[in-house]
């Protein structure tokens, strides 16, 4: 299917999310749509999938103009979408999920269970997508769940498959498998559109690349042979350094010591299972692993945000397990939470107030319970300058900032206190290349000033860029603590549960 977008424009108020975008997706090609978060990729795909109506421009399928009023129309026309967050019902079987919304019904409205299972088997054998139609979705690994999404689209006769950030939740091995599947689909003549901001995968898989920046196409028909730094420059609009300039570590004394720390959920199941490690002053310990292997809970337990945990955590000589979050923060622990929108900022507060969220009771921000807003505003303005937050002033509400600037606000707040430990969870998730560069520099700066740094990351590039040591988490345990010299393949194996040799 040849899918053509001509002059697509979509505005939200004063904001032009898509500005006269024209692009053609050819059958038998993997077309990567590359751009930073907020560049307008998702808006464009939502227009294509009938979720948004464009203000101007047309869509052509095989040369015929079409208008999609809703996703049903797009599906009808042969467009399938695999969302970043899977749209599956966890307690249903694969076959049930696949037929959801297109159930084949027999006499008296009874479901014909067998036909769905057959459809799944047919599609899996045709495209080499192995999956058991009777397996329950929640029991399947994420990579297989994604496969179910793809099968779902294929059983609806999709000729064009749109994949939105398909590798965000996959291990390196799963990513490789996905790319193989996508190549197979391409060879079968499907039109594949891959939305991503990951340069490595684009170069590996795509046949042709279109780069979008600030709602406009800035480069079309880019060859995948283009170097990573050239692609990054196109994406950001200026030269960026992909390598973090990291001086030799000057490692000092042990600052944070974790011994046999376990964290449990409400039912008593261990989410973190007897984990032990130490972090020393002036080093970066990266906790690598696929999302959902206990990293988030581990970090929450370290800063006293998790109620059910056992084991010992010491900051210097002082035990901090069981201490309140306030006390832990006051002892010099900086915390950049994983979900900065939800846990890191108060969206309806001005930036200046967000900058003192965890130190409002300290002088000079307040005295005898009374707040000195003049000092807080001055402090906010200073930090905005210092951390290059792109905002008109410190009075701007936090919710109006872009992801990168929000993260700068959180970092500015944490790093403006005097720290002994900095814990940053997924510090660059969803950030644009420029902001990633900035955040990485700040983290290395903290390390140089003798802070013990823990970075939790699922991105291997980030782990390699920052780590002095890598602790790999798998299923709530530390599968191994390794040197950053380890190969990508070996690290991938550890993340998938292999035991370190």
Partner 1 sequence: MSDEFPPDPSTGLSGSKTTDTLHPPDELAGSLTEALRRRVLTMNLAVTLLAVVLALAIGAVLIAVSSPSVIEAAGYFFARPMDTFSAIWNSVASAYSALFQGALLDVDELREGNIADAFYPISETLTVSAPLILAGLAVAIPFRAGLFNIGAQGQMAFAAIGGGLVGFGLSLPAGLHLVASLLMAMIFGAFWAGIVGFLKAKTGAHEVITTIMLNYIALFFLGWVLNQDWFQREGRNDPISPILNETATFPLLFGGGLRIHLGILVALGAVIVVWWMLTKTITGFRIQTVGANSAAARTAGMNVGRVWIIAMLWAGAMAGLAVSMNVNGTDKVVTAGIVGNIGFDAITVALLGRGSPFGVLGAGLLIGGLRAGGLAMQASTGTPIDIVLVLQALIVLFIAAPALVRSVFRLRGKTAESLTIAKGWGS
**Any idea of the CA torsion for 93, 99, 105, 106, to the nearest 10 degrees?**
-60
Span 103-162, contacts to partner 1 by CB under 8 A: 138, 140-142, 145
User: How many other CB atoms are there within 10 angstroms of residue 138's CB atom?
Assistant: 11
CA distances (Å), origin 99, targets 10, 135, 151, 453:
33, 14, 10, 48
**R_g over Cα of the chain:** 25
| Touching partner 1, residues 406-435 (CB under 8 A) | 432, 434-435
Q: 169-228: which residues touch partner 1 (CB under 8 A)?
A: 169, 214
Q: Helical H runs in 23-160? A: 41-48, 71-76, 94-99, 113-127, 142-155
Rounded distance between C-alpha atoms, residue 266 and residue 463, angstroms? 31
477 binds partner 1 (CB under 8 A): no
Q: Which of 353, 379, 440, 447 binds partner 1 (CB under 8 A)?
A: 353
Q: How far is CA 370 from CA 68, 191, 365, 367, 417, in A?
A: 57, 63, 9, 5, 21
Query: Minimum Å distance from CB 366 to partner 1?
Result: 5
Q: Tell me if the bond preceding 295 is cis, omega within 30° of 0.
A: no
Number of residues in the chain: 501
Q: In this structure, what are the phi and psi dihedrals at residue 270, rounded to the nearest 5 degrees?
A: -80, 120
Q: Identify which range of 108-116, 120-128, 319-327, 472-480 contacts partner 1 by CB under 8 A.
A: 319-327
**Exactly one of 116, 182, 329, 451 binds partner 1 (CB under 8 A); which one?**
329
Binders of partner 1 in range 367-386 (CB under 8 A) = 369-371
Residue of 103, 118, 220, 339 interacting with partner 1 (CB under 8 A):
339
189-197, 247-255, 277-285, 354-362 -> range binding partner 1 (CB under 8 A): 354-362
CB contact at 8 A, 59 and 3: yes
Q: Which stretch binds partner 1 (CB under 8 A): 25-33, 274-282, 359-367, 456-464?
A: 359-367
Q: Which is nearer to partner 1, 260 or 265 (CB)?
A: 265
Is residue 307 near partner 1 by the rule CB under 8 A?
yes
Task: Supply the DSSP string of 287-319, one letter for each residue.
Answer: EE--TTSSHHHHHHHHTT--SSEEEEEEETTEE
CA distance 76 to 102: 11
- Where does this chain touch partner 1 (CB under 8 A) — which range of 127-135, 183-191, 238-246, 395-403? 395-403
Binding mask 74-103 for partner 1 (x = CB under 8 A): ---------x-xxxx-x-------------
Answer for the pair 162, 195: CB distance below 8 angstroms, yes or no.
yes
Cβ–Cβ under 8 Å, residues 63 and 224? no
Binding mask 267-296 for partner 1 (x = CB under 8 A): ----x-------------------xx---x
Among 207, 343, 382, 490, contact with partner 1 (rule: CB under 8 A): 343
Q: Which of 114, 180, 227, 361 touches partner 1 by CB under 8 A?
A: 361
Piece of the chain touching partner 1 by CB under 8 A; list 58-66, 175-183, 338-346, 483-491: 338-346
Is position 71 an interface residue for partner 1 (rule: CB under 8 A)? no
H or E segment to which residue 213 belongs = strand 208-213
Q: Which is nearer to partner 1, 61 or 153 (CB)?
A: 153
Of the residues 360, 364, 445, 488, which one makes contact with partner 1 according to CB under 8 A: 360
Residue 370 contacts by C-beta under 8 Å, 6 or more apart in sequence? Answer: none
* One residue of 180, 386, 400, 449 binding partner 1 per CB under 8 A: 400
Is residue 156 classed as helix, strand or coil in its secondary structure?
coil
Query: Site size for partner 1, by CB under 8 A?
Result: 69
Binding interface with partner 1 (CB under 8 A): 12-13, 15, 17, 37-38, 43, 83, 85-88, 90, 138, 140-142, 145, 169, 214, 265-266, 271, 291-292, 296-297, 300, 303, 305-307, 324-330, 335, 337, 339, 342-349, 353, 357-358, 360-361, 366, 369-371, 390, 399-400, 402-405, 432, 434-435
């Amino acid at each position: 299917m040849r899918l053509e977008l001509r002059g697509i424009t979509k505005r939200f108020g004063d904001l032009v999310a898509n500005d006269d975008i024209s692009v053609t997706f050819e059958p038998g090609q993997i077309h990567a749509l590359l751009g930073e978060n907020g560049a307008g990729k998702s808006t464009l795909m939502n227009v294509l999938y009938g979720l948004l109506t464009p203000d101007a421009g047309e869509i052509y399928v095989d040369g015929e103009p079409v208008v999609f009023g809703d996703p049903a129309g797009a599906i009808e026309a042969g467009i399938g979408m695999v969302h970043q967050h899977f749209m599956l019902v966890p307690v249903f079987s694969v076959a049930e999920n696949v037929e959801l919304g297109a159930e084949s019904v027999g006499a008296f409205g009874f479901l014909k269970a067998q036909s769905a299972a057959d459809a799944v088997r047919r599609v899996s054998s045709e495209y080499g997508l192995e999956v058991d139609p009777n397996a329950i979705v929640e029991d399947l690994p994420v990579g297989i769940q994604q496969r179910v999404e793809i099968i779902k689209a294929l059983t609806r006769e999709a000729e064009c498959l749109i994949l939105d950030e398909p590798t965000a939740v996959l291990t390196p091995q799963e990513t490789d498998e996905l790319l193989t599947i996508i190549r197979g689909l391409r060879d079968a003549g499907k039109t594949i559109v891959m939305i991503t901001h990951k340069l490595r995968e684009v170069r590996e898989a795509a046949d042709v690349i279109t780069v979008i920046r600030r709602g406009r196409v800035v480069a079309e028909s880019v060859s995948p042979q283009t170097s990573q730094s050239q692609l990054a420059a196109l994406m950001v609009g200026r030269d960026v350094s992909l390598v973090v300039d990291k001086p030799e570590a000057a490692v000092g004394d042990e600052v944070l010591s974790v011994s046999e720390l376990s964290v449990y959920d409400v039912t008593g199941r261990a989410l973190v299972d007897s984990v032990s490690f130490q972090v020393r002053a002036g080093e970066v310990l990266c906790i690598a692993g696929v999302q959902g292997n206990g990293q988030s809970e581990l970090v929450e337990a370290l800063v006293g945000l998790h109620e059910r945990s056992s084991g010992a955590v010491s900051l210097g000589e002082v035990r901090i397990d069981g201490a309140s979050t306030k006390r832990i923060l006051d002892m010099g622990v900086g915390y950049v939470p994983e979900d900065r929108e939800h846990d890191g900022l108060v969206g309806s507060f001005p930036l200046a107030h967000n900058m003192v969220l965890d130190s409002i009771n300290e002088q000079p921000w307040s005295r005898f319970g009374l707040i000195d807003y003049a000092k807080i505003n001055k402090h906010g303005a200073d930090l905005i300058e210092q951390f290059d937050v792109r905002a008109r002033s410190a009075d701007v509400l936090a919710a109006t900032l872009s992801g990168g600037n929000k993260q700068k606000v959180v970092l500015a707040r944490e790093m403006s206190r005097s720290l002994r430990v900095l814990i940053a969870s997924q510090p660059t998730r969803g950030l644009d290349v420029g902001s990633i560069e900035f955040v990485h520099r700040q983290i290395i700066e903290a390390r140089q000033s003798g802070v013990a740094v823990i970075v939790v990351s699922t991105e291997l590039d980030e782990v390699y860029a920052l780590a002095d040591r890598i602790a790999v988490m798998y299923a709530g345990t530390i599968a191994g603590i390794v040197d950053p010299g380890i190969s990508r393949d070996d690290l991938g194996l550890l993340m998938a549960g292999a035991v370190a040799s």
